[in-house]
Amino acid sequence: MARQESDLTYKSIEELAPLIASGELSPRDLVQASLDRISQLDSSLNAFLDVWEEESRTSARIAEEEIAAGRYLGPLHGIPVGIKDLIDVEGTPTTGGSKVLAQNIAGSDATVTAKLKAAGAILIGKLNLVEFAFGTTGVNPTTGDVKNPWDTTRITAGSSSGSAAAVASGMIPAALGTDTGGSVRMPAALCGIAGLKPTYGRVSRAGVLDLSWSMDHVGPMTRTTEDCALMMNVLAGHDPRDPASSSNPIPDFTSEIGKGIDGLKIGIPSHYFFDEFVDSEVLASVRSAINLLEANGAEIIELSMPWVGKGRPINFGVLLPEAVSIHEKMIAEHADLYTPAVRARIQSGFNVAAIDYVRAQRARQWFNHQMAESMSNVDVLITPTVPIQAPTIADCTPSPENPGAGSELPMFTGVFDVTGQPSHSIPCGFTTAGMPVGMMITGHPFDESTVLRVAHAFEQLTNWHQMPPTDIPAPN
């Protein structure tokens, strides 16, 4: 069942922006619709940590006045956007979903926050997450677990759990997430939305709590690929506040999105991503999607990548010592305020030898070389986003008997945090249990445009991205 056109809260930015620009839709009405949907659902989904009702109404009124006065700022003007609570918004708490930072008030905006404000977006509130983004499931004993709108007994995945649930359930059309091992793409996949991890350095990390300096990414989460492109047009760009920020030219991410896939070469890894350990229903959906792209003009090329399974160990091997270093002072002073599972993850890295970290960084360079060689004759890779179906929250609640809960989730996504390539998840089908399946499209560094072009073409051929979640009530 495709969503109903009358549902304002399920409309995409590409649908809403022309209505706002023309004055047909008031930002005040749109923001109120978002607030109503949040009020209707969030007591059950737990996506938001903080909702800024009065501030967002004020911002919407100002947006309406600016637009009426002929000062329309572009497609995000008047659009409600949620912010993962890892990202600074001046004058509001940035807690990282942890008791440790419960009193941490941001002194200034993160660069991405400032860019959204300058584009006229209405910041609607802070979104729930895994504590300090150090986890994959969306389970957080401090802030409460985020529920999957497709089945509220199941996880959203994480760490951008609130971002995915809020967008998927129609509370907001767009949110910011962060991705170090897959934290944008995994929850996008399990909640049936689009989530883009841009090329490392493409979007500033300034004002965002760190997890791993050399692999942290900020990216958009929306209901369509075109909306991710619209968000990227605002978010991307060099930032002197971020030492890893790239000076590469910034394209218009929407300019090539409608060019189709005729003649594009899509690489399909013959190792790892399609192996027997991957859930059969996930494999069937992704293979069906690949067949559809081939039938519509793409050339499919099988790629031998026997080394690619090393990507996830390298991802974790680089991440862990960097996370330990970032948390060293806080965990010494406030160990009792961390949740036990996250404390154990950080402390488990205390005795990693320096030589092992250097080995991991050398292995990363080796891995990047292998990936560039393998992709030299294709435009993008297509793989499943996660290898399993969404588990239940009960199955993912850490316990002494189940310390590795959720460890399979980042097996595929973490590979592309190592390489820093642009990598995008979109829905490509459903399991027999009615849960969304995600397909991951990964491109060459700084070539988000081709990734978005392939994903957009797929969305024009299917309506998976238009399905409304089935375990939540329709909008009032």
Partner 1 sequence: MKPSDNPQHFSDRAQEHQLVISAEDAANIGEVGASVASTYAAIRQIDTTGFEPAAIFVPTPSKRKDD
The residues that touch partner 1, with contacts defined as CB under 8 A, are 214, 310, 313-314, 316-318, 320, 324, 328, 331-332, 335, 340, 343-345, 347-352, 356, 358-366, 368-369, 400, 403-404, 407
**Catalytic annotation, pick one of 59, 159, 169, 245:** 159
To the nearest whole angstrom, how small is the minimum distance from the Cβ of residue 360 to partner 1? 5
Query: How near is the Cβ of 249 to partner 1 at its closest, in Å?
Result: 20
Whole-number minimum distance, CB 466 to partner 1, in Å?
Answer: 39
- Of the candidates 59, 183, 285, 425, the residue annotated as catalytic is 183
Angle at 251 between CA 380 and CA 249, to 5 degrees: 100
The three-class DSSP label of residue 148 is strand
Least distance in angstroms from the C-beta of 403 to partner 1:
4
Q: Is 159 a catalytic residue?
A: yes
CB atoms within 10 A of CB 241: 12
Q: How far is CA 190 from the centre of its chain?
A: 11
* DSSP sequence for 13-37: HHHHHHHHHHTSS-HHHHHHHHHHH
CB of residue 100 to partner 1, shortest distance in Å: 14
Q: Is 108 a catalytic residue?
A: no
**Letter string b/e over residues 250-287, b meaning 16 or more CB atoms within 10 A of that residue's CB:** bbebbeebeebbeebebbbbeebbbeeebbebbbebbb
Q: Strands of 98-234 (E only): list them.
A: 122-127, 174-179, 194-197, 217-222
Select 147 or 310, whichever has its Cβ closest to partner 1.
310
CB neighbour burial string for 150-163, b if at least 16 within 10 angstroms, e if fewer: bbbebbbbbbbbbb
Residue 200 or 458 with smaller CB distance to partner 1: 200
Which residue of the set 84, 115, 197, 310 is catalytic? 84
d(CA 291, CA 244): 38
State how far the Cα of 201 lies from the Cα of 140, in Å rounded to an integer: 29
Nearer to partner 1, 398 or 468 (CB): 398
Measured from the CB atom, the residue of 240 and 434 that comes closer to partner 1 is 240
Q: 127: phi > 0 → left, psi -120 to 50 → alpha, else beta; which?
A: beta
* DSSP SS3 for 135: coil
**Residue 31 or 318 having the CB closest to partner 1:** 318
Tokens of 355: 């030589």
Residue 154 tokens read as 């199941």
Query: Which of 28/312 has CB closer to partner 1?
Result: 312
The answer to whether residues 308 and 324 touch, using CB atoms and an 8 Å cutoff, is: no
Minimum distance, C-beta of residue 457 to partner 1, in the bound complex (Å) = 33
Which is closer to partner 1, CB of 291 or CB of 407? 407
Tell me how far apart the alpha carbons of residues 176 and 201 are, in angstroms, rounded to a whole number: 16
22 given a catalytic annotation: no
The pair of structure tokens assigned to 27 is 């930002």
The distance of closest approach from Cβ of residue 394 to partner 1 in the complex, given in angstroms and rounded to an integer, is: 19
**Residues identified as active-site:** 84, 159, 183
